[in-house]
Amino acid sequence: MFKYDVKLAFKSMRRNPIMTALMVAAIAVGIGVSMTTLTVYYMMSSNPIPEKSDELFAVTLDSWSPLRPFDDDNPERAPHQLTYHDAERLLSFAEAKRQVAMFESSLIIEPVKAEDLPFEAFARVTSTDFFAMFDVPFIHGSGWDKTTDAAAEPVVVLGKQLNEKLFGGENSVGNWLTMEGTRFRVAGVIDSWEPTPRFYDPINGAFQEINEMFIPLSLTRVLELSSVGSDWGWKSEEITSFEQWLNSEAVWIQYFIELETAGGRGEYVAHLNAYVNEQKKLGRFERPLNNNIYNVEEWMDYHEVVANDAKVLVGLSFLFLVVCLLSTIALTLTKFIGKKAETSLRRALGASRQTIFKQQIVEVAVIGFSGGLIGLALVTLGLQGIEYLYDSPEGMVRFDWVMVLTALGIAIVSSMIAGLYPAWRVCNIPPATQLKTQ
Amino acid sequence: MLQMTQIQKIYRTELIETHALRELSVTVQEGEFVALTGSSGSGKTTFLNIAGLLESFEQGTYLLDGEDVSHLSDNERSAYRNHKIGFIFQSFNLIPDLNLFENIDVPLRYRRFPRADRKQRIEHALETVGLASRMKHLPAQLSGGQQQRVAIARAIAGEPRLMLADEPTGNLDTTMAQQVLELLEEIHAAGTTIVIVTHDQGLASRAQRNIQLVDGKVLEEESPHTQEEIPQAVMLNGGEPLAAQL
């Protein structure tokens, strides 16, 4: 009977095309608006590395001023970045399974081909474990090893796009690249890798593109690489050299660890506390012990990657969907009442109330499905508009199968809900009242 | 086949009560061809609606095929209609965007006949009414008489025990009415009990028995023909269907 009901639904839709179009349009617009905002929200709040988000932790140490907290609004919070020398020390302890210290820098790349011009590219300056820790996929080659890092060898891992730009997408491992007057050997080329949100650096933008290339942290001192990301300081210090900057109390290094299990969290915090207690003896870390580690989802919450505005917007857009559904209820009622003569005939010929009810609900479900399909097209347009308005990287706001199925599911279920009252009304019309007058 | 005893039906609004049937008692034997006549408002259609289990009633008993149907649930009444009763309406009541095959298929679908069985029944019913070659046509492509024959085909496809017809020739000209009437006589001759509601005395005179209603009561019963006087219709399974010859 389901196939029969679907067939009848399409016939009924064709019978009154304007009414059908209005119903489909109401659902499509409702779905288009609500799913656009929901998709953005879903993208913003999705777990970017679900397979190990409980084992990756951002590290914070409270090295801030003894006179006031780092964040007046959240005084319990320590600075979300470390000083360079604290990061270097923690790296040297290698207490976790893996650990990375990193920051964002920019370098001028000299042309590979004579006809090209020099250009600036953004690099993540990081330590060896970055690639293994964050499951970065490689097309060619690999990252660098600890020996290379320790020796401050100039190697570079290129992003896929930069490799295409410089080497036409070919395997460039072993090729050389000159940046800031230093020749870098290409160690690897990574494949498309777009963790969204960019969990390892929400401080400098959770929805920024990943870096175009990666170079060893040990080159910081050698090349005097400066950060193009955020840095904070609280202490008045005289800084006249790069070395003084590296040894200052300014916080500008992001630090992540990977633990064997989430259960190792307490032990690692104890390790941080031991380190800080040692530093206290040297006159640093004058605030009470306040060292923490945050797993990926906690880190996203910490930085309010999903702004409250986004939640409000999702709520408002679903209210709009409700308004569209109220319109659909009115249209459905009109449409169903318009065919009460046929319904009465079917009742006379043996259809039970349940059969009629089911037939009407299948019809609104088909209308909902049609509205959902058009709504998906509107969502695609909406997401492109958002990318354009917010100047997001192309493809950043994606509409995956989960959201496609969610959109269709919401369209079908909501239209079925909208059809409940009209279907109930029409199946309760006494059949005898309509048969004589048809 | 049909036995109504002391049936009372009252339509109520906020202001008035209308007594549509007043202690009506009617009996129709299996295989009979009965015509109910009466002027407008006499209760003919109300009788037919109750007989067809489309309406309930306040008082009395109604035995259909030997079973008391007074207290059936809505679902049971639907099933009864579907299995035992065929309806023919004055205005044909075909679904305009379903072709003839699909229109006749409607009650068979609800009866959950297998697909092949439905197809065979529909084709046979259309052959009986002489429209086998038009099964893919829409109702609007047929004349009024042809549409009523389709409605008859829909009514007989499920082989009902009782056929109820409400002014079946009311919207047809004389020639077409004659064709439909002869078709009903064929069906009756095949053993189906037929009850026709009409104010057409010509049509009523073709029935075995006439029941005249006035103000919701039986005024009189008469038999215009003895069984022998009824024109013999061509049997359904014998020779060319009569409608096809017309």
Per-residue model confidence as pLDDT tens digits over A372-388: 999 999 998 988 888 78
Where is pLDDT greater, at A393 or B213? B213
List, in order, residues 6 or more apart from B199 with CB less than 8 Å away.
B37, B38, B39, B40, B44, B167
> Which of the four pLDDT bands, split at 50, 70 and 90, describes residue A2?
confident
> Which of the four pLDDT bands, split at 50, 70 and 90, describes residue B169?
confident
Where is pLDDT greater, at A314 or A133? A133
Q: Do the beta carbons of residue A200 and residue A256 sit within 8 Å? A: yes
List the single range of A74-83, A305-314, B206-215 with lowest mean pLDDT.
Answer: A305-314
Give the residue from chain B lying closest to A13, CA to CA: B97
Residue A342 with chain B: CB contacts under 8 Å: 95
Token output for A36: 């656009």
> Which of the four pLDDT bands, split at 50, 70 and 90, describes residue B229?
very low
> Which of the four pLDDT bands, split at 50, 70 and 90, describes residue B241?
very low
The tens digit of pLDDT for each residue in B27-45 reads: 999 999 999 998 888 888 8
pLDDT at A397 over 90: no
**Would an 8 Å CB–CB cutoff place A388 in contact with chain B?**
no
Residue type at A159 in one-letter notation: G
CA-wise closest residue to A17 among A347, A370, A270, A394: A370
> Which of the four pLDDT bands, split at 50, 70 and 90, describes residue B223?
low
Q: Do the beta carbons of residue A79 and residue A231 sit within 8 Å? A: no
**Would an 8 Å CB–CB cutoff place A438 in contact with chain B?**
yes
Interval A87-112 mean pLDDT: 94
CB atoms within 10 A of CB A389: 8
Q: Which candidate from A351, A430, A436 shows the least CB-CB separation from B78?
A: A351
Where is pLDDT greater, at A43 or A59? A59
Decide: helix, strand or coil at residue A118: coil
Interval A193-203 mean pLDDT: 86
CA-wise closest residue to A133 among A256, A264, A217, A254: A256
Residue A353 with chain B: CB contacts under 8 Å: 74-75, 78
CATH topology of domain B2-245: Rossmann fold (3.40.50)
Distance of CA A302 to the CA centre of its chain: 15
Residue A432 with chain B: CB contacts under 8 Å: 49, 54-55
Instruction: Output the furthest CA–CA distance in chain A (Å, rounded).
Output: 100
Give the residue from chain B lying closest to A427, CA to CA: B74
A348 CA: distance to closest CA in chain B (Å)? 7
Q: Do the beta carbons of residue A42 and residue A196 sit within 8 Å? A: no
Interval A114-137 mean pLDDT: 92
The CA distance from A32 to A23, in Å, is: 14
CB atoms within 10 A of CB B173: 11
Q: Which residue has the tokens 């043996």?
A: A350
**Would an 8 Å CB–CB cutoff place A353 in contact with chain B?**
yes
List, in order, residues 6 or more apart from A374 with CB less than 8 Å away.
A24, A25, A28, A32
Give the residue from chain B lying closest to A359, CA to CA: B110
pLDDT at A157 over 90: yes
Q: Please give the DSSP secondary-structure letter assigned to residue A203.
A: G
pLDDT at B246 over 60: no
> Which of the four pLDDT bands, split at 50, 70 and 90, describes residue B232?
very low
**Would an 8 Å CB–CB cutoff place A351 in contact with chain B?**
yes
List the single range of A342-346, B13-17, B153-157 with lowest mean pLDDT.
Answer: B13-17
Interval A66-81 mean pLDDT: 92
**ipTM reported for the complex, 2 dp:** 0.86
| A431–B78 C-beta distance less than 8 A | no
> Which of the four pLDDT bands, split at 50, 70 and 90, describes residue B224?
low
Residue B78 with chain A: CB contacts under 8 Å: 347, 350-353, 355
- CA pseudo-torsion sign A326, A331, A334, A339: negative
CA-wise closest residue to A127 among A102, A157, A153: A102
| A345–B93 C-beta distance less than 8 A | yes
Interval A271-286 mean pLDDT: 94
pLDDT, residue B42, reads: 87
| A352–B83 C-beta distance less than 8 A | no
Give the residue from chain B lying closest to A345, CA to CA: B93
Residue A428 with chain B: CB contacts under 8 Å: none
pLDDT at A225 over 50: yes
Give me the DSSP letters along B139-158.
GGGS-HHHHHHHHHHHHHHT
Pairing label, strands B85-88, B162-166: parallel
pLDDT at A224 over 50: yes
Number of CB pairs < 8 Å for A and B?
68
**Would an 8 Å CB–CB cutoff place A432 in contact with chain B?**
yes
| B110–A350 C-beta distance less than 8 A | yes
The CA distance from B60 to A206, in Å, is: 79
pLDDT, residue A9, reads: 92
Helices of type H across chain B: 44-51, 74-84, 100-110, 115-128, 144-157, 174-189, 201-204, 242-245
Q: Which residue has the tokens 């006749």?
A: B104
Give the residue from chain A lying closest to B75, CA to CA: A352
| A355–B93 C-beta distance less than 8 A | no
CA-wise closest residue to B191 among B161, B149, B156: B161
The CA distance from A284 to A249, in Å, is: 9
Residue B89 with chain A: CB contacts under 8 Å: 435-436, 438
pLDDT, residue A393, reads: 59
**Would an 8 Å CB–CB cutoff place A183 in contact with chain B?**
no
- Pick the residue of B50, B77, B110, B163 with the most A CBs within 10 A to test the interface with A by mutation: B110
The tens digit of pLDDT for each residue in B70-115 reads: 888 999 999 999 999 999 988 889 999 899 999 999 999 999 999 9
**Would an 8 Å CB–CB cutoff place A319 in contact with chain B?**
no
CA-wise closest residue to A422 among A349, A344, A364: A364
pLDDT, residue A434, reads: 72
Token output for A43: 């993208």
Distance of CA A89 to the CA centre of its chain: 32
Decide: helix, strand or coil at residue A412: helix
Residue A363 with chain B: CB contacts under 8 Å: none
pLDDT at B233 over 50: no
Q: Which candidate from B55, B89, B107 shows the least CB-CB separation from A350?
A: B107
Q: Which candidate from B93, B110, B166 shows the least CB-CB separation from A351?
A: B110
| B82–A432 C-beta distance less than 8 A | no
Token output for B15: 């202001």
The CA distance from A74 to A27, in Å, is: 43
**Would an 8 Å CB–CB cutoff place A281 in contact with chain B?**
no
Interval A283-299 mean pLDDT: 93
Pairing label, strands A119-126, A213-216: parallel
Residue B49 with chain A: CB contacts under 8 Å: 432
| B82–A350 C-beta distance less than 8 A | yes
Residue A436 with chain B: CB contacts under 8 Å: 45, 89-91, 166
| B78–A350 C-beta distance less than 8 A | yes
Task: Locate the domains of chain B by residue range.
Answer: 2-245
For residue A195, whether the previous peptide bond is cis, meaning omega lies within 30 degrees of 0, is no
A346 CA: distance to closest CA in chain B (Å)? 7
pLDDT at B245 over 60: no
CA distances from B226 to A62, B32, B206, B207, B208 (A): 112, 12, 11, 10, 7
Average pLDDT, chain A: 90
Give me the DSSP letters along A228-273.
SS--B--S-----SHHHHHTSS-B-BEEEEE-SSGGGHHHHHHHHH
